[in-house]
Amino acid sequence: MLNFTTRISCAERYYDALSSLHFESVQEWTDLFQKFTTDEKYGLSEILVLIHPNWYETLDIPDPRGTRNFPIADKSAKCRSIEFYGYQCPFINPSIHIDHLFPYSKGGVTNHANAMYLCEEHNLSKSTDIHTIDWEGMDRRWVIQLLQVFSHEIERKTQTKLGSFKKAIGRI
């Protein structure tokens, strides 16, 4: 069964980390990157704040997430509410949406690694809620790719090496 206690805890840690940010400088991002990737008490929940869209202007990088919209879901697609809410979708032949598992508004990319099939009702209910995301089962490839974009741009602009990037990938 789904571990909602863990999911709520991860969402709380994400929001705790997000609430402490000022999005004011490259140095702030770099300090957080070092902190979140070297201290064992931090994990994916905290690392995800490093890809929040509010950083784009501060770091002077283009939006790396791609377009906001997914293509139309295949007719054979089924609602995956069981993975998100813990119960089978009760709707018969619902319209299926492809949604961002980790919300676009919080930095989630538009690609298959961050995609979730949900019926229209479950998708609209989910909105940008991160409290029921399966943090442990989340595909992390897209997070790694975004962190590579961010760290490459910062290294290029500041001529500083972010030495713990390989360690960060191992922790994600």
**Prediction pTM value:** 0.90
| Rounded Cα–Cα distance for residues 10 and 132 (Å) | 9
**In terms of Cα–Cα distance, which of 114, 119, 107, 129 is closest to 29?**
107
| Rounded Cα–Cα distance for residues 126 and 144 (Å) | 24
Quick one: pLDDT at residue 42? 92
What value does the mean pLDDT of the chain take?
90
Q: Which two tokens stand for residue 3?
A: 């571990």
First-last CA distance in the chain: 23
| Rounded Cα–Cα distance for residues 76 and 3 (Å) | 28
| Rounded Cα–Cα distance for residues 54 and 105 (Å) | 10
Model pLDDT for residues 76-122, shown as the tens digit of each residue: 999 999 988 899 999 999 999 999 999 999 999 999 999 999 999 99
What residue segments make up the domains of the chain, in order of their start?
4-65+135-171
Quick one: pLDDT at residue 163? 67
| Rounded Cα–Cα distance for residues 33 and 45 (Å) | 13
Model pLDDT for residues 159-168, shown as the tens digit of each residue: 877 766 666 6
